[in-house]
Amino acid sequence: MAGSLTHARRSPSLSQAIRPSFLLPSVLALLALLSACGAEQDSGLARVRRTGELRWGADAQGGEPYAMEDPDAPGGMRGFEVELAEALARELGVRARFVQNDWSSLVPSLERGSFDVALNGLEVTPSRSGRILFTRPYYIFQLRLLARRDDAAVTGLDALKGQRVGTLANSLAWDLLRRSGVEAVPYEGVEEPYIDLEQGRVRAVLMDDIIAQRYGQPRPGLRVVGDVGDGYYAIAVRPGEEDLREALDTALRNIARSGELRAIFQRWGIDNAEQQRMVDWTDAQSREVLAPAQTARMGWGQWVLFLQAAGVTLLVSVGAMVLAIPLGVGLALTRLYGPGWAARLSTGYVELFRGTPVLLQLYVLYYGLAGVLRLDPISAAILGLGLNYAAYESEVYRAGVLAVPRGQLEAAMALGMPLRLALRRVILPQAFRVALPGVANDFIALLKDSSLVSVISVVELTKRMTITAVDVRSWLIPGALCALMYLAMSYPLSRLARHLEARLERG
């Protein structure tokens, strides 16, 4: 009954139950219920029927052919899963309502009750089976390996031992890659791995055939190596809502037998002979496919991976700061003392990098400019965050420089110092003293912002936590460990900042 605490509802039968003769047993029953699962609530199916809606969670960013925004009908959705959701809702006698949710957090969002089911190319993996309920599968897909056309050495997974192979994090392909002894590189979108394959930043990409067909195979530089396994898409239901799962199983069987399911697949060009198995699918097959694997544990291996990820976080943060500090100083000084055009350029830089999301900047730097600037993920992460933080640093230093009395510069100039020398010897040392607490503060913020670089396939601390949380089917220990490691890095910095502030007040 996990998850029921998060959306306890007032029971409609509670007031009827409270009558003198029933009071004691009722209270006891209520207490037992409260201790068991928080409070009584609608079961899954009853809730769907009562609200008249089947709320299905998916990520429109997943794109064609799953579920995406309809370019012809703003606000509307299209995709084979949109049609599937509508057919299933019709079978249940309700309306389907799409709920947008980031793909990587579909399962946690389902658990906390953001929607009734997750229906978005969710592959049946042992770790997911242990955490949530799956309906019978609705689609059988192939795991398709792609490599560069000019790279004939890639003949299969065996030929890729120790090589970087891209895929979606926590997907079936991800599990397979990690078992195969290759270096699995996690991505959060379907297009990015293929861009990186073209750029040579990964050696191969392993993804579901639907994705490969749409996003990989059309690229002229890439070729299909082959299919290395198959898997199933199924609908995820909250644990404890077996009645909803059974209703959906029935609905799925009905639309499979009526031919509607394959008709949907045909409309979206993803139908093949394999899908006939969906028609004759049995509960026994479901039990076999959906059997959860044994839960992985937080072993020493996980600790080592966490430490490595913390190292990546530290490397990216320190590298970005080392870049941001001199660049920030240059920007601040240019803005304050440079010629008009340079000062305007510097102001423009600050406004641009401070005024647009760093996530977008990382995307542009890593994927957008890949044709002219081929950076490896770590370098791109350091450069991207460094360029972004330079904008913030420049404002901290500008404030620091402005805090130095004007007479200091005049005094230096009156001694015959050129401007540069006066800035270096007189103004900056004093400005740094003022700016230091702000710089330390920014560095702590940077430590945490560095988690954004997971969008360009860098596995840092936060990404490691989400990967591990899926593996061990709990957020508790990985989350606590992740928080502890961030604290272990940021707390000494806070202390340093306080120490510097205290020294400044004395000085």
Residues forming contacts to another protein in the complex (CB under 8 A) are 405, 407-408, 410-419, 421, 425-426, 429-430, 433, 507
Of 314 and 413, the one with the shorter C-beta distance to another protein is 413
Closest distance to another protein from the beta carbon of 425 (Å)? 6
What is the closest distance, in whole angstroms, from the C-beta atom of residue 406 to another protein in the complex? Answer: 9
Helix (H, G, I), strand (E, B) or coil at 53: strand
Which residues are paired to 301 by β-bridges? none
1 vs 364: CA distance, rounded Å: 44
Smallest gap from Cβ 325 to another protein, in A, equals 19
Of 224 and 343, the one with the shorter C-beta distance to another protein is 343
Is the CB of 5 or the CB of 419 nearer to another protein?
A: 419
Neighbour-count burial for 16-32, b at 16+ CB within 10 Å, e otherwise: eeeeeeeeeebeeebee
Output the smallest distance, CB 181 to another protein, in A: 58
Q: At its nearest, how many Å lie between another protein and the CB of residue 439? A: 17
- Cα 97 to Cα 56, 117, 234, 274, 446: the distances in Å are 6, 11, 18, 29, 38
- Strand ranges across the sheet with 117-118: 95-100, 53-58, 117-118, 236-237, 133-134
Min CB(343)–another protein separation in Å: 14
**Residue 144 belongs to what H/E stretch?**
strand 139-148
Q: Which is nearer to another protein, 374 or 424 (CB)?
A: 424
Nearer to another protein, 355 or 507 (CB): 507
Minimum CB distance to another protein smaller for 1 or for 411:
411
Closest to another protein by CB, 205 or 412: 412
**Shortest Å, Cβ 405 to another protein:** 7
Q: Which of 208, 136, 215 is nearest to 174 (CA)?
A: 208
Phi and psi angles of residue 196, each rounded to the nearest 5 degrees, phi first: -65, -30
Q: Give which of 93, 91, 81, 90 is closest to 56, Cα–Cα.
A: 81
**Least gap, CB of 396 to another protein (angstroms):** 18
- Angle (CA) 438 443 444, round 5°: 100
Instruction: Name which of 326 and 405 has its Cβ closer to another protein.
Output: 405
Query: Least distance in Å: CB of 505 to another protein?
Result: 12
Nearest CB to another protein, comparing residues 32 and 419: 419
The pair phi, psi for residue 480, each rounded to 5°, is -65, -40
Residues 31 and 90: their CA atoms lie apart, in Å, by 38
Coil, helix or strand at residue 135: coil
The contacts of residue 417 (CB under 8 Å, 6+ apart) are 425, 426
Do you know the residue count of the chain? Answer: 507
Place of tokens 């209520």: 30
CB 167 within 8 A of CB 177: yes
Q: What whole-number distance in Å separates Cα of residue 317 and Cα of residue 329? A: 18
CB of 418 to another protein, least distance (A): 6
List phi, psi (to 5°) of 57: -90, 135
CB of 307 to another protein, least distance (A): 40
For 250, other C-beta atoms within 10 Å of its C-beta total 14
